[in-house]
Amino acid sequence: MNEVNPEGNPPGQRGPVHRRHWVLIGIAVALVVVLVLVIVRKPKSGSGDAVAQPQPANIRTATAHLGNMGLYVDALGTVTPVATVNIYSQVNGMVEAVHYTEGQMVRRGAPLIDIDARSYRAQLQEAQGTLQHDRALLAQAVMDLARYKEASGQQAIARQTYDDQVQAVEQYRGTVKNDEGQVAYAEVQLGYCHITAPISGRIGLRLVDPGNVMFSGGSMSIAVITQLQPITVVFNVAEDNLEQVHDEILQRASLPVDIFDRSQQTKIATGKLLTLDNQIDTSTGTVRFRGQFDNTRLNLYPNQFVNARLLVRTLTNVVLVPTAAVQRNGTQAFVYVVSGNAVKMRNVTELSTENDVAAVSGVIEGDVVSVTGFDKLQDGSKVTVQQAAAPDPAASATANVGAGMKPGSAS
């Protein structure tokens, strides 16, 4: 019989127990190698190699300074002419001549259109002839009255004859007055044949040509004139700002109004507040304001949409910082004030803004604020200042710098 080893395998064959021993030995060797590598790579204590620290953020700064800034109310407005006149024919007749060109600036009294006046001239002549005839009858009756008066005084005629002549004179006088009215009416009708400009302004496109027949009371206008100098702008201001604006109006004669284009980049004109409406529009919660402008350069055009900026008052000796320095966390505005080599977050109240300058409270003159690198900043962050922007002396010395305050944000 063949011999078997204790594991039950034939002689010369290794069993599974022997293989497990070699697997365990391999695992142990691998663990030892890993442990040695960890120990070798571990920095020695006191070797001077420190854990990497975050680098300070590179920022640019600006210094807060004192200055003056205007407090404004911004609103959308529409250019509205003081007067727009539609001219209609008041007589019947054919157009003989048109004396204006399209788009021409005309003065009051300038000739515009001539209508055939021959029939109206004849009516005037007829009325003048009737007047002349009745005036002669009146003069004859007055002379007879004088003779009758003398004869009646001498009792040469009956008193009744004298009294009848007195009333005859009054009748002729009434007739003369009626004739004078007819002459005046005929003169007015004749004057309607020569149409002149009732106001100064720009005339629109030509609506009639020579040879057209005009009718009195027609629905079609024959010319349209719009007054451009001066001109007004009507803009709506939120009722929340009405009280403070009303107080300013009571304190001084007028408030300055600036007009900008749709992009609010170019100033078109500067004028004054003329008046405000006597009631609030309940559908929009706004009050209509009207500003007046000389419009000497004709920059404002009727029905043009513009942005109106009303100066409510001027903030004096307020702290000014670049608008880039003011950040917001929800509704709260704040700035990063540089202290040493770190920044501190400080809440501020934005009073007004104009272009690249903001008037704020919460910082003082001389505070250095960050204007860049906000994505790397938080309260207490270390910083490195690249360049400190010097304050603009002109900005701090200039009064009435505009503030782009939205309606309702005035304080």
Number of C-beta neighbours around residue 90 at 10 A: 17
Q: What's the confidence (pLDDT) of residue 38?
A: 65
Residue 243, domain CATH: 2.40.30.170
Q: Tell me the C-alpha distance between 237 and 408, whole Å.
A: 9
* Residue 272 and residue 355 in one domain: yes
**Cβ pair 64, 369 in contact under 8 A:** yes
Instruction: List, in order, residues 6 or more apart from 151 with CB less than 8 Å away.
Output: 157, 162
* Residue 337 and residue 367 in one domain: yes
* Residue 5 and residue 138 in one domain: no
Q: How many domains does the chain have?
A: 4
Q: Parallel, antiparallel, or unpaired: how do β-strands 305-322 and 286-293 relate?
A: unpaired
Instruction: List, in order, residues 6 or more apart from 205 with CB less than 8 Å away.
Output: 102, 103
Task: Note whether residue 288 is domain-resident.
Answer: yes
Q: Which domain holds residue 177?
A: 117-192
Q: What's the confidence (pLDDT) of residue 48?
A: 46
* Residue 365 and residue 272 in one domain: yes
Task: Note whether residue 53 is domain-resident.
Answer: no
Sign of CA dihedral 121, 127, 128, 130: positive
* Residue 72 and residue 93 in one domain: no
Number of C-beta neighbours around residue 222 at 10 A: 20
Q: What's the confidence (pLDDT) of residue 253?
A: 61
Q: What's the confidence (pLDDT) of residue 42?
A: 56
Task: Note whether residue 16 is domain-resident.
Answer: yes
Instruction: State the Cα torsion 123-126-127-132 to the nearest 10°.
Output: 160
* Residue 246 and residue 326 in one domain: yes
Average pLDDT across each block of 10 residues of the chain; the chain has 411 residues. List them in order.
50 57 76 71 51 75 90 91 94 94 94 95 96 95 91 86 92 96 96 95 93 89 94 92 76 82 89 89 91 93 93 88 91 91 91 87 92 88 72 43 39 35
Q: Tell me the C-alpha distance between 279 and 287, whole Å.
A: 7
* Residue 77 and residue 170 in one domain: no
**Cβ pair 403, 69 in contact under 8 A:** yes
Task: Note whether residue 260 is domain-resident.
Answer: yes
* Residue 172 and residue 246 in one domain: no
User: Pick from 223, 239, 271: which residue ends a domain?
Assistant: 223
* Residue 170 and residue 233 in one domain: no
* Residue 133 and residue 252 in one domain: no
Task: Note whether residue 51 is domain-resident.
Answer: no
Q: Which of 404, 411, 398, 410 is nearest to 355 (CA)?
A: 404
**Cβ pair 237, 257 in contact under 8 A:** no
Q: Tell me the C-alpha distance between 320 and 391, whole Å.
A: 9
Task: Note whether residue 66 is domain-resident.
Answer: yes
Task: Note whether residue 46 is domain-resident.
Answer: no
Residue 141, domain CATH: 1.10.287
* Residue 212 and residue 282 in one domain: no
Task: Note whether residue 104 is domain-resident.
Answer: yes
Q: Tell me the C-alpha distance between 353 and 259, whole Å.
A: 17
**Cβ pair 343, 336 in contact under 8 A:** yes
* Residue 265 and residue 142 in one domain: no
CA 192 from chain centre, in angstroms, equals 41
